[in-house]
Amino acid sequence: MDANFVESFRDSMPSAYRQHQSADDIRTHAQIVWRRGNDPAHVEICNKKVNAVVACVVTDDRPGLASLIRATIAAHGIDILAAQAYCRNNEKGRAESVQFLWLSPVREGGASAVGEVEIANISSSLSALLRGETDLGSVIERASSAPPSNPPPVVDVVFAEDVDTEGAILLTVDATHSEGLMGTITSVLYAKEVSVLHSDLTTSGCLARARFHVVESDGAPLTQARAREVASAVLDALGPSRP
């Protein structure tokens, strides 16, 4: 790895990332990002917890990426317990997504534990999907094979009134957890020409809380009027009346 890459990587990440990561963690993450090379996607375990492993997923940012990653992981019988996502401009001048996912096996017939083999399989599947070598429909079909539960729909969308040090405003979405939740929200934000600096997702049973730190596409802070407009669009997309 280039001697200057750790510093370059750290400086390219949002301040929220730098404030919550130790120097050792940043170095570990930088090494994973470096090892991506020219691959469409790269996934490695960066930490191990008692009931989950934390995987780092690195790929070019694109609309619908969160949904694609979740479908790929679900197809391998693995659940995402929590997620943090950041976006940076990499050394090639491209928008690069760096996501940290807390993973645990969930389905009968799926992995009994999440280890290096399972992570390598996820990385290979995601790269194949991004190259167009595998049909996304088959991945989604596998991801949807478990019998769905039907809890009462829950949707609450709130924007904070103040901006943070990066000029971003916090959008918080509480909703019934589903595989397409993050993809639906990010698609709405993209359509509304809003940029996500970083995001995170936590789940508890059938409920999920997603948080997005957002700015206008040109980096300017959202006005309260724009924030209300975006929140309304997200609420419409997630409401019970959606198709």
Q: What is the DSSP letter of 57?
A: E
Burial degree of 85 (CB within 10 A; 0-12, 13-18, 19+): buried
- Kindly report, residue by residue over 7-66, the tens digit of the pLDDT: 999 999 988 888 889 999 999 999 999 999 999 999 999 998 877 899 999 999 887 788
Contacts of 166 (CB under 8 A, 6+ apart): 14, 15, 16, 197, 213, 215
Specify the higher pLDDT residue, 206 or 225: 225
Cα separation of 88 and 92, whole Å?
11
Please determine, looking at this structure, whether the domain spanning 155-238 carries the CATH number 3.30.70.260: yes
- Which residue is associated with the tokens 């049973």? 205
- Kindly report, residue by residue over 79-109, the tens digit of the pLDDT: 888 888 899 999 999 999 999 999 987 654 4
For the whole prediction, is pTM greater than 0.85?
no
CA torsion, ordered 199, 203, 207, 209, to nearest 10 deg? -20
Enumerate the domain spans of the chain: 5-143, 155-238
pLDDT band at 181 (very low <50, low <70, confident <90, very high): confident
- Kindly report, residue by residue over 148-163, the tens digit of the pLDDT: 444 445 566 777 767 7
**97-111, 163-177, 193-207, 218-232, range with greatest mean pLDDT:** 218-232
- Per the CB < 8 A criterion, the answer to whether 234 and 191 are in contact is no
Percent of the chain residues topping a pLDDT of 70: 84
What is the average pLDDT across 157-175?
A: 79
